[in-house]
A and B are shown apart, each in its own frame.
Chain A
Amino acid sequence: MAGSLIKIDEEIVTSAVASVTLGGSDWDSSYDVYMVKVNNIQTDTDTARFQFRVTTSGTPQTDANYDRATKLLLAHTTFGNVYNVNQTNFDIVGSMGTATGEQSNLVMYCFNFNNASEYSFGTIETVDFGSSARIQGQQGGFVKTTTEANDGLHFYMTTGNFTSGSTFTLYGLKK
């Protein structure tokens, strides 16, 4: 159906920043499902971890209530499983760097974010080109095991910055 994805917020990095918040005051709570597109993510520092948290009233939630289960798809060796509970964030890429071609891209679908009496859920699908010219992907999901409403996502690097061109876009799925 044409026009099913309604753009709510877009953050395009034009000058290096260590974190980007999507949603917050731009959040439109009239949707049941949201799609998040993150593309051309590059960093200016080696061994940077690319992570995210959900936000409430625009503030990143740092409590230890992030559970995740994903399949790690690796071109150079056996696929792996990534699973953990009660984390303080969701680890998207364990190590990013500055070598030629290194970048991350992902799509997420977010559910229940507006429901203050249920957990927030999400699916995630990533593709990264990492160190040693390795391609890898991740497919799975996460749940924030807190009964709270969420109104966005906070993406950050544990060291260094997102460089110019890194793009974060939030869409609502029209009913």
Chain B
Amino acid sequence: MATLEELTTEATAEIEAAKPMYKQVNNERLEFSSADYDQAITDLANSKWDTQQFGYVQARVEAYGSVQDQLDMQYWDGVNGTTTWADHIAQVKSDNPKPS
């Protein structure tokens, strides 16, 4: 996992490559000021950090499926003696690992 400093370096390179960047204020299109560029680097680095550290949460929520579907899996596991639900949960966790 990258550190915030490493992600900031990455963000700095991306913002440098994206220059010139523009903002719209009072229906005027103006180039970013030096402070705007600095803030853009901070925002991009923080965005990368959030995705790295917490992206797995939403990915897991989406991959788990609905509670109804999971209950259905558990019902049929009980009837058939299978482990479909446990296997599914394990696979989702494995596919979307929590950052160490």
Binding site for B on A (CB under 8 A): 11-13, 15-21, 24-26, 47, 49, 51, 58, 60, 62, 74, 76-78, 80, 88-89, 94-95, 156, 158-161
Contact = CB atoms under 8 A, between A and B. Distances in A.
A21 B24 contact: yes
A103 to B, nearest CB: 18
A78 B24 contact: no
Interface in B28-70: 29, 32, 36, 39-40, 42-44, 46-47, 51, 58, 61-62, 64-67
A18 to B, nearest CB: 5
B75 interface: no
A78 B36 CA distance: 38
Contact of A158 (B32, B47, B58): B47
Nearest to B70: A78
Tier of interface size on chain B: 20 to 34
A11 B22 contact: no
Contact of B24 (A20, A49, A88): A20
Contact of B21 (A18, A26, A62): A18
Interface of B: 14, 18, 21-27, 29, 32, 36, 39-40, 42-44, 46-47, 51, 58, 61-62, 64-67
B24 A51 contact: no
A17 B24 contact: yes
Interface SS of chain B: helix, strand, loop or mixed?
helix
15 contacts: A12-B27, A17-B22, A19-B23, A21-B26, A25-B26, A26-B26, A58-B25, A74-B62, A77-B66, A78-B61, A78-B65, A78-B66, A78-B67, A88-B46, A158-B40
Contacts of A62: 39, 42
> 4 tightest A-B contacts by CB?
A158-B47, A19-B23, A17-B24, A17-B22
Given A15-B29, A159-B44, 18 more contacts: A11-B24, A15-B22, A17-B22, A17-B24, A18-B21, A18-B23, A19-B24, A21-B23, A21-B24, A24-B25, A25-B26, A78-B64, A78-B65, A94-B58, A95-B51, A156-B43, A160-B18, A161-B21
Nearest to A48: B47
A13 B47 contact: no
A26 B24 CA distance: 13
A77 B59 CA distance: 11
A17 B44 contact: no
